[in-house]
Amino acid sequence: MSPMDNKIDDGREFDLVMWGATGFTGRLVAEYIHERYGTGNELRWAIAGRSQAKLESVRAGIGATAGVPLPGRFGVTGDEADRGRFKTPTLRGLTETAPYMHDASLRTLEDVVAFYRRGGNLNTHLDAAIKPLDLTDEDAANLVAFLKALSKRPAKKTARKRRTR
């Protein structure tokens, strides 16, 4: 017996309207609801937010199966050339922003470097410029160390005392 078997039909169009679906957590919740309840009649649900373009992006990504990329910038611009493209964030403070990638699929910087060493994951929207990085294990470790160094806070400068004459 489903927990929804006892629901009362109160005339509302939806049992659940999820606001904030375009944020990271909202998207995860929407994906969970879709996996758990689907789009059938067990739970009538909808997503809501301030940006129709972002909502369309979320809607297009919900229920995507492995190998089918998320729409990326296309969900915002509607430009077919932007399908599968994502904004690249700054490298400063990188260790504070895990998990990595647009879908949070990589947990560590080592995972990110390994991803690019193999040339990404094959999909229909993989940019032709993405090629496997020919890095030795030592080079990969050095790259990770460099990326981690970008997150270190610079040493505080001490103020010099001015000499008075």
Q: pLDDT per residue over 84-127, tens digit each? A: 666 666 777 778 877 887 777 888 999 999 999 999 888 777 77
Q: Answer for the pair 125, 69: CB distance below 8 angstroms, yes or no.
A: yes
* Segments making up each domain of the chain, as ranges: 1-86, 88-153
Q: Answer for the pair 133, 117: CB distance below 8 angstroms, yes or no.
A: yes
pTM: 0.45
The torsion angles phi and psi of 71, rounded to 5 degrees, stand at -70, -20
**pLDDT surpasses 50 at 3:** no
Q: Where is pLDDT greater, at 134 or 89?
A: 134
Q: Characterise 162 by phi-psi region: left (phi > 0), alpha (psi -120 to 50), beta (else).
A: beta
10 Å CB burial of residue 58 (0-12, 13-18, 19+) is buried
